[in-house]
Every structure is written in C-alpha cells, then in structure tokens.
Copies of this chain bind each other. A is one copy, B any other.
Amino acid sequence: MASDDHYLAVDIGGTKLAAAIVTGSGQVVRQREVPTPSSEPEHLVTRALTELVADVCATTPPAGIGVASAGPIDTARGTISPVNIPAWREFPVVDAIAEAVGGPPPRLIHDSTAAALGEHWRGAGAGSSALLGIVVSTGIGGGLVLDGRPVSGAAGNAGFIGHITADPVGEHCACGRTGCIETGASGPAMLRWARANGWTGHSTPELAAAAATGDATAVAAFRRGAEFLAGGIITSAILLDLDRVVIAGGVSAAGEVLLGPLRAAVIRDDSADIRELRIVRAELGRHSGLIGAARHAMTP
C-alpha cells in the first residue's frame, strides 16, 4: 500500500461502535464513535453501524476496509455474534458494511486480534516474531501475531486466552467451564476478591491506586490476578514459542502493580526459554483495534 492511502477501520464492541479513517502509515485521521445500542432490536443496531461508517467515509473512498469485532465471529461467512450485542447473531457484518460504503470487500478480524496486530504494527509489539496481546478489562481477551501475521484460527476466534484453565478446582466461569483465567484475573474478579477480603473500595482504578500506595489487600488482589494471568502466559509461551506479551485494557492502567508480579510469576517458572519473554504494556490505548483493523485491510 502507499502510505497516503486511506483505509476505513471499524471496531465493534458491546459498549461502543467506532470507525475511523487510518492512513497507510497508521495515523488515525478521522474518528467517530457512538454508544452501541445493545438492547435495541437488530435493525436499529445495524442502522447505528451503517450510519457511522457512511459518515466516516463520506469524504474519502477507502483503499481498503478492516472490521474488528467482539466475538464470536466467523471470518469465512463474514458474520459476527458478539456476546454483548444480543440483537446480532450471525449478523452479516461484512455485507452490511460493503452495502453501506461500497469499495473493496471488508476484511473481518476479531477485535482482540486486531488490537494485537495494531500493537505489532505501530506499538509495543513492534519487531516481535511471536506476540501475544492480552486485553485485561471486564473480561480477558487475547490475540496472536505470529511471523508478522495475525492468527485467525478456524473461524477467527484464536487468542481466547481468558478461557483456558488456570485452576482446575477453581470457580465456575460464565462460559460453563471451571477455573478459567478470567475467573481470577479480570478487573471484576480482582475487585470481588479484594472486597471479599475486607477491602472497602468500589472500582478497579481505586483498587490500583490503593495497591500503588501499599494497601496489603489491594496488592494481594493484583498479585492473585497476576498468578492467574501468568499461568495462561506460560502455557501460551510454551505452545507458541512467544517472544513478547503486550498487556492492554483498563486494568493494565494499573501498570507495575500488575506487571511487576506478573513478570515475577513468569520468571519463577523453571523454563529458560520463558525467562527471555518480554512482558510490556500496550502503547496505542483505545486506538489499537482501529489501527489493527486498518492493518488487516492493507495486508494481502
């Protein structure tokens, strides 16, 4: 692609729908977002999306279109069934966006994979040949970029690290399995554990602030979350010979409160290869998905 080409990038989540024009060099030059009307019927959710992309595209016919979406997705069919947008089940998002804006066929990618791809292209994953990006937030998502290419998996849902098992005798998870990483390392899980152990605050940012000032329960909550997350990272590193992990999402704002014990837990593992793994914080913030979607649009 030429660096002055303009790509349409779309990022579909349960909270917001975002679209932007992204240049061939990764600059976000025009961005719009609207709250996702998650509780509305299908045609209204669809209209919110098509109006958004038409608005962003009005002045610039795109050289390519990349669509990142919350999962599950089906890249072969071009459909999405985001858990938190119940009106859309096997919704043909690729066709809907193609119809709304024309141009080249939209390319669909899981939002966590797009975030990892964005960080690999223009952020904290640059230069990695085997990258796992993890989004630690209300849930835990992940995406993989191996040999410079995003890993899709059979239907597009690879990277689902929040639901591999960390504790076989642990808590029941909303997904139906037991002891998933998400049951210990998500923001709400850390918060729940801290409150059950006497901490009296109400939010993850508060918990991070308390940990930063040395509150023992808050520190322990992040340490426990880090242990869960470390298990998933170690498993992934062994299976995929990773050289870097990029941590993003709201909870990553806690910074060293989370990353410190996370690195310690991974280093403690008796595997020389894993000790060379770098664990770093994401750099692109909320733009990572859009930038990754644009990158996906421009890669053959």
Contact = CB atoms under 8 A, between A and B. Distances in A.
Interface of A: 72, 128-130, 142, 144, 146-147, 149, 151-161, 163-165, 167-168, 175-177, 231, 234-236, 238-243, 269-271, 273
Contacts of A176: 270-271
16 contacts: A72-B273, A129-B152, A130-B153, A142-B239, A146-B151, A146-B153, A147-B149, A147-B152, A152-B241, A153-B240, A156-B241, A160-B239, A164-B239, A167-B168, A175-B270, A235-B235
* Copies of this polypeptide in the complex: 2
B241 A157 contact: yes
A170 to B, nearest CB: 11
Contacts of A128: 154
Given A144-B240, A153-B242, 10 more contacts: A129-B154, A147-B149, A149-B149, A155-B241, A158-B240, A160-B238, A160-B241, A165-B235, A177-B271, A236-B239
Contact of A269 (B154, B156, B177, B240): B177
Identify the interface centre among A142, A149, A156: most chain B CB within 10 Å of its CB: A149
